[in-house]
Amino acid sequence: MDSNDAKTLDHKLVAHKGFYLINEIHDPDDVDQICNLEIRDSDTFVVTYPKSGTIWMQQILLMLKAKGDVTAISELSNLSNAEVIPWIELRGNREAFISAPTPRQRVTHLQYQFLPPALSQKIGKVIYVARNPKDVLVSYFHFHKIANMLETPKSFEDFFEKFLRGEVFGSSWFEHIKTWYSHKDEMNMLFITYEEMIKDLKSAVEKISLFLGQKLTDEQLANVVKHSTFNNMKRIPQASYEQVPEDLLSHHLGTFMRKGTIGDWKNHLTVAQSERFDEVFLREMKDFPFLFSWDIEDFK
Ligand code: PPS
């Protein structure tokens, strides 16, 4: 057995109520308690399927809160973005949420069923960030190569099949988006896409600030945009995840901030894989009232 096999055997997913969690960093009993949390109107949950723009949204929310003043996170704070806007499902984070000061902002990859039902009574806010699933698949494949809590993919082909079967943390991309979207009108939900953020970050940031009721001047909004671009985020260690300890992320094997674009799937999927993906997509998403962007050229 080589070291790669050992890693594959050691880091397994755990199926919990039809949803895959990561053994090492999630506790199913704790995750079950999340739905009992008391929600305030001022709470915001950013909901994403993995690799859809979570850390980008963390940065935008933090910059909005700081009214565009990047020194608030880059020089003054030694806390990473993940510590300021943490994942609610990580071990220990649920309890910290209870005593956290208002406004509480959290991110989550969980399915709808695990979140407090109060969200469906329009208490608190939800920002759902969606990304075209071919790019999610590719980003997730590369992330599996650097994330030590996840199985190292045997090959792209193998990961492709696992993703389509939903045998990854987050389970099925299709179920995740369809379930959350089906509850959209019951919630205070902003549904936004990674692609529209790429296309016009300024409009996206304005939309988010309006949704959160945060009033910023044009200059402050311009600064939020400036410090949330891919290239600028890369330079902020708190935002780019380069501070994550090496035992969790093998930084020498790749970066969290990898490509940050639309259509990288074209460099990975064969024509046959793309056609198979399209078949599944058409079957699964036929009633979904939304069109995705698959190519950066769509915006040129
Ligand atoms: S995770 O692990 O689920 O929290 O990952 P997540 O943050 O959801 O997604 C990571 C991908 O988002 C890209 N990213 C960005 N793209 C454009 N602009 C900005 N500012 C930005 N910040 C993060 C990141 O590069 C990952 O995508 P890929 O395709 O791998 O580059």
Ligand 1 mutation pick, 26, 139, 169, max ligand atoms within 8 A of CB: 139
Q: Beta strands 13-16 and 19-22: pairing type?
A: antiparallel
Atom of ligand 1 nearest to the CA of 259: 31
Band (2; pLDDT cuts 50, 70, 90): very low
Question: Strands, DSSP E only, in the chain?
Answer: 13-16, 19-22, 44-48, 105-108, 125-130, 189-193
Q: Pick the closest to residue 179 from 284, 263, 273 (CA basis).
A: 284
Instruction: Please determine, for residue 1, whether its predicted confidence score (pLDDT) is greater than 80.
Output: no
* Cis preceding linkage at 103, omega within 30: yes
The pLDDT value given to residue 175: 98
Least confident of 76-85, 129-138, 139-148: 76-85
| Surface-to-core class of residue 188, CB atoms within 10 Å of its CB (0-12 exposed, 13-18 middle, 19+ buried) | middle
Kindly state if the Cβ of 196 falls inside 6 Å of ligand 1: no
The pLDDT value given to residue 11: 57
| Surface-to-core class of residue 245, CB atoms within 10 Å of its CB (0-12 exposed, 13-18 middle, 19+ buried) | exposed
pLDDT single digits (tens) 160-176: 999 999 999 999 999 99
Q: Domains of the chain, with CATH numbers?
A: 3-299 (3.40.50.300)
Band (135; pLDDT cuts 50, 70, 90): very high
Atom of ligand 1 nearest to the CA of 135: 29
Kindly state if the Cβ of 124 falls inside 6 Å of ligand 1: no
* Section 189-210 average pLDDT: 98
Ligand 1 centre from 116 Cα, in Å?
26
The pLDDT value given to residue 185: 97
* Section 82-96 average pLDDT: 95
The pLDDT value given to residue 75: 67
pLDDT single digits (tens) 104-131: 999 999 999 999 999 999 999 999 999 9
Kindly state if the Cβ of 254 falls inside 6 Å of ligand 1: no
Location of structure tokens 């960093």: 25
Given a contact cutoff of 8 angstroms between Cβ atoms, the answer to whether 263 and 296 are in contact is: yes
CA 57/CA 73 separation, integer angstroms: 15
Please give the backbone phi and psi of residue 18, each rounded to the nearest 5 degrees, phi first. Answer: 75, 15
The pLDDT value given to residue 7: 37
Given a contact cutoff of 8 angstroms between Cβ atoms, the answer to whether 140 and 149 are in contact is: no
For 137, which DSSP code? H
Ligand 1 centre from 234 Cα, in Å?
11
Instruction: Please determine, for residue 8, whether its predicted confidence score (pLDDT) is greater than 60.
Output: no
First and final CA of the chain: distance in angstroms? Answer: 49
Element (H, E) at 99: helix 93-99
pLDDT single digits (tens) 249-278: 899 899 999 999 999 999 999 999 999 999
For 110, which DSSP code? -
SS3 252: helix
Q: What percent of the chain has pLDDT over 70?
A: 95
Mean pLDDT of the chain: 93
Neighbours of 186 (CB within 10 A): 12
For 15, which DSSP code? E
Kindly state if the Cβ of 142 falls inside 6 Å of ligand 1: yes
The pLDDT value given to residue 163: 97
The pLDDT value given to residue 24: 86
Given a contact cutoff of 8 angstroms between Cβ atoms, the answer to whether 89 and 6 are in contact is: no
> Which active-site residues does the annotation give?
109
The pLDDT value given to residue 244: 87
Band (246; pLDDT cuts 50, 70, 90): confident
Question: Strands, DSSP E only, in 132-217?
Answer: 189-193
